[in-house]
A and B are shown apart, each in its own frame.
Chain A
């Protein structure tokens, strides 16, 4: 009897200790959960050109080797020249740096959290280096711009080939809309799609243009197609240099424009 009471007591003690150790809510304080932050995803691009992390990491490391670190997301803008006669006092210096920091990242809005790739947060952005960055940007503004281009070129090569972003495409379309005089006499019920392949220079001027269905131009009964094709070629000539993105030449050096007047002619 006495023995069984001891065993029972021992087991109960064991269960109580086990429970205390294994169930954390009993010993631990409830987690102090941070307030929920609402994230507004501002979708301004159909396809972003931000490279995914592992590749980007390599790129950044490569750039670091060159000892010139420039962020593509925050391109150095023109820093206001400090007048020589307005030498800042030591106390004012800190304020200046803060101001310039804001200019370095003009897109950052404190009220909105934007989607930013991880590698930039951890590796590019270093608040302690702001002053150094400012100094360098002041000294080598022209050089930085060139480097900046180099970075995007190398990034693009490593990227998957993707289309233009919506904003880039819109800019190009808007330019050509203005240049293209649609021949008004065209019948709207015929298939009159003119596809033109372009080879472009980095500045948007045209090296070569080729109508894909060129044979159709000289076929009998295809007068309307020829007229439309010629109007499209005129539009391209009139518009050049085309409003292409300043970066990513590899992406758009070959471009195809599909001219379709049906929407306009149908009214």
Chain B
């Protein structure tokens, strides 16, 4: 009897499992095409338009903000903004209730709509992000600011859209500090310049009387440390961007260079060279205490902290050739991590903490590449005649660096421009600057 019951149960179980088995198909490939996005102009009524024109001399602000967003998304290489001429629905109606069929018809998969209002001389910008194929709103935010800040609003909107559609933080509401260069190669005037990441709103921080190099932001983006040849003595300086006050970092009896802030902004790490030897030092900005980190008869330079501040990467020729090393922040546990052919330099730890970017010189060509923090998985992203000094975007996805062109036989044709490349190595772009530029450094996000 019991046996029969067990047999019945067994067959019932078999039938049940068979009846419920669902066919599974593994999708392991897709396309890497940029996502088609429609960025509709932000709607503003007649009254707002009049006020903006009369009081602030701004016209067509809705279109301008949408252009900023569109341009930002396009430069990532991850999105493909659709031509506005193809839009079938007007901005005001689209913002209230998009006709998803119309947007799907022009192959859009995401839609950005919005409207602007002027309330008590303050600009209120609201936007919505729609999933066209799912037919639903996936993000809606509003910002209030002074009208002249409209470009930043465009960048913040871009960051929010980027984050919602990719899962990682954006990098549009950021600034880039760099060395603006003018004049012939032999008599170059170099000034510190700061601009938005898209090349707008450039401001010059120094007059160009002294040679300046390697500017770096602090984590709050208010201070900059850089190398200046004031009175022909190369030293590390600290500059407050808001007040313009600058000071020498430390009282070293020789040349200090390659400065960089620690992740908490409390220390500056730099190289100090004397008698042909170069060592890495830190200086506490509050106590002004100087600490020696490396102690080796070779040249140790270009230090960069890991995002948690526990490790430092630097380059050294202690092996006979310039290679990349890591060590603990107190200078112990030094490990060589680069073993490829050629010379490695300017290592920079990614804000994500997973990669180290570097410049590599091999067979007369310069490469910008990345490797894991243990030195494995080296990938060269771009190759050129001369390029160096990579700096990470705050989300650790894009690198900015500078590239110089060869001079011709007459000594002309030299230029230095800023370029960016993403981690895929495919999305390489020149960043527009008013003058030639070098030594770029990316700020962290201005708003979180």
Min C-beta distance of A81 to chain B, whole Å: 39
- B22 contacts A255, CB within 8 Å? yes
Closest to A227 in B: B167
- Asked if A256 CB lies within 8 Å of chain B CBs, one says yes
List of B residues within 8 angstroms of A180 by Cβ = 27, 29-31
- A255 contacts B131, CB within 8 Å? no
Give me 30 A-to-B residue pairs in the complex whose CB atoms sit less than 8 angstroms apart, sorted by A's number: A161-B18, A161-B19, A163-B24, A164-B25, A173-B25, A176-B30, A177-B27, A177-B31, A179-B30, A180-B29, A180-B30, A181-B109, A185-B167, A186-B166, A224-B168, A230-B134, A233-B133, A234-B133, A234-B134, A237-B133, A237-B134, A238-B109, A258-B24, A258-B26, A260-B26, A260-B27, A261-B28, A262-B28, A263-B28, A264-B29
Given known contacts A185-B78, A264-B30, A264-B32, A234 and B25 CB-to-CB distance under 8 angstroms = no
Closest to A192 in B: B167
C-alpha spacing A261/B138, complex, angstroms? 23
Min C-beta distance of B98 to chain A, whole Å: 16
Interface size class of B (residues with CB under 8 A): 20 to 34
- Asked if B424 CB lies within 8 Å of chain A CBs, one says yes
The listed residue with most B CB atoms (<10 A of its CB), out of A184, A232, A256, is: A184
Min C-beta distance of B112 to chain A, whole Å: 16
- B30 contacts A182, CB within 8 Å? yes
- Asked if B21 CB lies within 8 Å of chain A CBs, one says yes
- A163 contacts B133, CB within 8 Å? no
Min C-beta distance of A228 to chain B, whole Å: 8
C-alpha spacing A255/B21, complex, angstroms? 10
Min C-beta distance of A252 to chain B, whole Å: 6
- The A interface is mostly helix, strand or loop, or mixed, namely helix
C-alpha spacing A181/B109, complex, angstroms? 10
Extra pairs beyond A163-B23, A181-B30, A264-B30 (6, CB < 8 Å): A173-B26, A223-B163, A227-B166, A228-B167, A256-B24, A258-B24
Pick from B22, B24, B78: contact of A184, CB under 8 Å: B78
Pick from B29, B34, B134: contact of A233, CB under 8 Å: B134
Given known contacts A161-B21, A255-B22, A177 and B29 CB-to-CB distance under 8 angstroms = yes
C-alpha spacing A234/B36, complex, angstroms? 12
Give per-residue flags for B132-173: 1 if the beta carbon is below 8 A from chain A beta carbons, else 0.
011000100000000000000000000000010111100000
- Asked if B124 CB lies within 8 Å of chain A CBs, one says no
- Asked if A67 CB lies within 8 Å of chain B CBs, one says no
List of A residues within 8 angstroms of B25 by Cβ = 164, 169, 172-173, 255-258
- A263 contacts B29, CB within 8 Å? yes
Given known contacts A223-B163, A227-B165, A234-B109, A185 and B397 CB-to-CB distance under 8 angstroms = yes
- B134 contacts A260, CB within 8 Å? no
Q: What is B's interface to A at a CB cutoff of 8 Å?
A: 18-19, 21-35, 77-78, 109, 131, 133-134, 138, 163, 165-168, 397, 424
- Asked if A114 CB lies within 8 Å of chain B CBs, one says no
C-alpha spacing A258/B165, complex, angstroms? 20
Closest to A193 in B: B26
Considering only residues 244-267 of chain A, those with a C-beta below 8 Å from chain B are 251-252, 254-264
Pick from B24, B27, B134, B165: contact of A176, CB under 8 Å: B27
- Asked if A235 CB lies within 8 Å of chain B CBs, one says yes
Min C-beta distance of B158 to chain A, whole Å: 14
- A181 contacts B31, CB within 8 Å? yes
- The B interface is mostly helix, strand or loop, or mixed, namely loop
List of A residues within 8 angstroms of B26 by Cβ = 173, 258, 260
Closest to A170 in B: B25
C-alpha spacing A234/B109, complex, angstroms? 8
Min C-beta distance of A116 to chain B, whole Å: 26
- A258 contacts B27, CB within 8 Å? yes
Considering only residues 52-84 of chain A, those with a C-beta below 8 Å from chain B are none
- B167 contacts A182, CB within 8 Å? no
Given known contacts A184-B78, A185-B78, A164 and B23 CB-to-CB distance under 8 angstroms = yes
Give per-residue flags for A164-202: 1 if the beta carbon is below 8 A from chain B beta carbons, else 0.
100001001100111111111110000000000100000
Min C-beta distance of A165 to chain B, whole Å: 11
Min C-beta distance of B252 to chain A, whole Å: 41
Given known contacts A181-B109, A223-B168, A255 and B23 CB-to-CB distance under 8 angstroms = yes
- A181 contacts B27, CB within 8 Å? no
- Asked if A226 CB lies within 8 Å of chain B CBs, one says yes
List of B residues within 8 angstroms of A178 by Cβ = 31
C-alpha spacing A197/B22, complex, angstroms? 9
- B18 contacts A160, CB within 8 Å? yes
C-alpha spacing A197/B167, complex, angstroms? 23
Min C-beta distance of B203 to chain A, whole Å: 31
C-alpha spacing A260/B168, complex, angstroms? 19
C-alpha spacing A224/B35, complex, angstroms? 16
List of B residues within 8 angstroms of A255 by Cβ = 22-23, 25
List of B residues within 8 angstroms of A177 by Cβ = 27, 29-31
Question: What 5 A-B pairs come out closest when comparing CB atoms?
Answer: A180-B30, A185-B166, A227-B167, A223-B167, A224-B167
Pick from B21, B30, B138, B163: contact of A235, CB under 8 Å: B30
C-alpha spacing A255/B25, complex, angstroms? 8
List of B residues within 8 angstroms of A224 by Cβ = 167-168
Pick from A164, A183, A256, A261: contact of B165, CB under 8 Å: A183
C-alpha spacing A235/B35, complex, angstroms? 11
List of A residues within 8 angstroms of B22 by Cβ = 197, 254-256
Given known contacts A184-B424, A223-B163, A256 and B32 CB-to-CB distance under 8 angstroms = no
